[in-house]
Amino acid sequence: MVQERTFPKFQAPAAKISADQGLVLYEDMILGRYFEDKCAEMYYRGKMFGFVHLYNGQEAVSSGVIKSLRSDDYVCSTYRDHVHALSAGVPAKQVMAELFGKETGCSRGRGGSMHLFSSEHNMLGGFAFIGEGIPVALGAAFQSRYRRDALGDPNADQVTASFFGDGTTNNGQFFECLNMAALWKLPILFVVENNKWAIGMAHERATSQPEIYKKAAVFGMPGFEVDGMDVMAVRTVAQEAVARARAGEGPTLIECLTYRFRGHSLADPDELRSKAEKEAWLARDPIKRFEAYLLEHKLADQATMKAVRDRIQSSIDEALTFAEESPEPSPDDLYKYIFADE
């Protein structure tokens, strides 16, 4: 029996952020949580269809990593991609419209929940099959390195962040891409969102080495285990990895120990996880923990945080109205976006 990991080795450092930086992280986490809650409401009311995989509980990972990137860096996601897109700057209106299958969606209503894409925000996509996005992210990192070293472009120092779950780390793409990234010192962060469950399979039962970050050593790259319920801990590790990548020092594997507060998808009755397990992780809610952090370090007060929550709630309501009132894709455009324009 493999011993369950509950307390990561890496903990958050002392406060090293300004009030403005703290509020950026807080607003992003609230945006992700409120957006997903609205998605659940719309799904259960029969207004949103298909497979919808929500991110509740994992907000510290998205905010901690993506808010450590520049706007011209790249993000590559999984089928649990709504919040990654929001953190990358894709407007909530466009994401919500996409989930409603509308022409105004970020993928013009052609992608839906699992295939969000925005070239404007370097959001390289959500991918329905696990591991599918890792080679795409590797390609983005390769072109950054190639443009800088082979073509002599001094501005080609973009970093790519590739997100995937614990179940994906048993797939071939994971190992092949880590090998290539290490071999060519590509500017990429491999971010494992270890939420302990691959659909209905407990992580400890599915792999011969449950401590995923240790797999990095095989490829000669740094590997870190971090508390994925602590946005400051994630941010600290991510910033170090981004700096290494941008300096040409190669990739990093970051394993974030986190937990999804809802079932695998909104169609999942979530009967496999024990009540005790869920309650233990709910008590470590990353948003509540960060609120306590902001208060403790006098980076925000209750009134300021309430104002953020109210503003985000209004933006979610506006996004919903926008999505509901947006037009459906025209049948005349059935073949549009399949081939590149001449």
Q: Is residue 339, in this structure, part of any structural domain at all?
A: no
To the nearest whole number, what is the mean pLDDT of the chain?
Answer: 94
Check which CATH number belongs to the domain holding 57 and give it. Answer: 3.40.50.970
Which has the minimum average pLDDT: 10-14, 35-39, 251-255, 294-298?
A: 10-14
Q: Is residue 328, in this structure, part of any structural domain at all?
A: no
pLDDT score for 3: 46
**Structural domains in the chain (count):** 1
Task: Judge whether 118 and 106 are in contact, CB under 8 Å.
Answer: yes
Q: Is residue 114, in this structure, part of any structural domain at all?
A: yes
Q: What is the mean pLDDT of residues 92-108?
A: 97
Summarised one tens digit per residue, pLDDT across range 117-155 is 999 999 999 999 999 999 999 999 999 999 999 999 999
Summarised one tens digit per residue, pLDDT across range 222-253 is 999 999 999 999 999 999 999 999 999 999 99
User: Which pLDDT band, with edges at 50, 70 and 90, does 5 fall under?
Assistant: low
pLDDT score for 8: 57
Task: Judge whether 79 and 264 are in contact, CB under 8 Å.
Answer: no
Strands 188-194 and 197-198, by their bridges, are: unpaired
Q: Is residue 330, in this structure, part of any structural domain at all?
A: no
User: Which pLDDT band, with edges at 50, 70 and 90, does 2 fall under?
Assistant: very low
User: Which pLDDT band, with edges at 50, 70 and 90, does 338 fall under?
Assistant: confident
Give the Cα separation of 74 and 71 in Å (integer): 8
CB count within 10 Å of CB 291 equals 18
* Confidence check: pLDDT of 14 > 60: no
Percent of the chain with pLDDT over 90: 89
Q: What is the mean pLDDT of residues 168-174?
A: 95
DSSP 52-64: ----TT-HHHHHH
Burial class (CB in 10 A: 0-12, 13-18, 19+), 306: exposed
Summarised one tens digit per residue, pLDDT across range 140-150 is 999 999 999 99
pLDDT score for 248: 96
Alpha-carbon 179 to chain mean position: 23
pLDDT score for 4: 57
Q: Is residue 342, in this structure, part of any structural domain at all?
A: no
Q: Is residue 4, in this structure, part of any structural domain at all?
A: no
Q: Is residue 341, in this structure, part of any structural domain at all?
A: no
* Confidence check: pLDDT of 265 > 70: yes
* Confidence check: pLDDT of 299 > 90: yes
Strands 160-165 and 74-76, by their bridges, are: parallel
What's the pTM? 0.94
Q: Which domain holds residue 57?
A: 19-266+273-321
Q: Is residue 9, in this structure, part of any structural domain at all?
A: no
DSSP helix/strand/coil, 270? coil
